[in-house]
Amino acid sequence: ERPRLVTIAAMAIMILGVLVIVGGSVGTGKLFGDFMALCSAFFIAVAITISRASGKDMGFTSLVGVLLPLALAVFMVSGEGFHVNAPWWIVFNGAIIMPISFFCLAAGPKYISGPEVAMFYLLETVLAPVWVWMIFAEAPTRNSLIGGGILIVTLTAHSLWQLHEGRKRRATLAVAHPA
């Protein structure tokens, strides 16, 4: 499916925001992490495409995918595993945040285009430094805050634009085809 011009423009701005976030880590010898992030982006794109093409509601399927991370989080806070300052944030993330976000992101392709769903996936790029700050008390970098701001503002502006255009189209249709 071909995205609209406004979606392509928003995606380009969001790519710049991601580049601001990761720009400081490029060339630091963390190739494995960068490769894993690239693989993650590729497989998310594949999942969105397959979900969109099938037309089926995949929301509940993704809820199964949070069971393993939740089990790991419970193990981590059990005293036997890794010690963190705020362990219940990990459990909260695995029990509440991940299931809700995975459900919404998996159900999204049924209602909006694939590129628009992919833009919402970028919110994870914004929220990851916030979770790290809350759990490990590691402050986000200046670039993370600037890039995250770019992502949030762009996504909000694009969503408001799409909402406005949808209302305008419905009003035009209502005038052209009165009931």
Domain locations in the chain as residue ranges: 5-176
Structure tokens at 155: 């996504």
Show the 3-state SS of 99-157: HHHHHHHHHHHHCCCHHHHHHHHCHHHHHHHHHHHHHHCCCCCHHHHHHHHHHHHHHHH
- Alpha-carbon span 95 to 71, nearest angstrom: 9
Structure tokens at 98: 């991940």
Q: pLDDT tens per residue, the chain (179 residues)?
A: 788 899 899 989 988 988 888 776 666 656 676 677 667 777 877 877 777 777 777 777 777 777 777 777 777 766 665 566 667 777 787 778 778 877 887 777 778 877 888 787 777 777 777 777 776 777 888 888 898 899 899 999 998 998 888 888 887 877 767 66
pLDDT recorded at residue 97: 78
Residue from 159, 116, 101, 119 nearest 17 by CA? 119
Residue from 14, 49, 20 nearest 143 by CA? 20
- Alpha-carbon span 17 to 59, nearest angstrom: 28
Task: Say whether pTM exceeds 0.95.
Answer: no
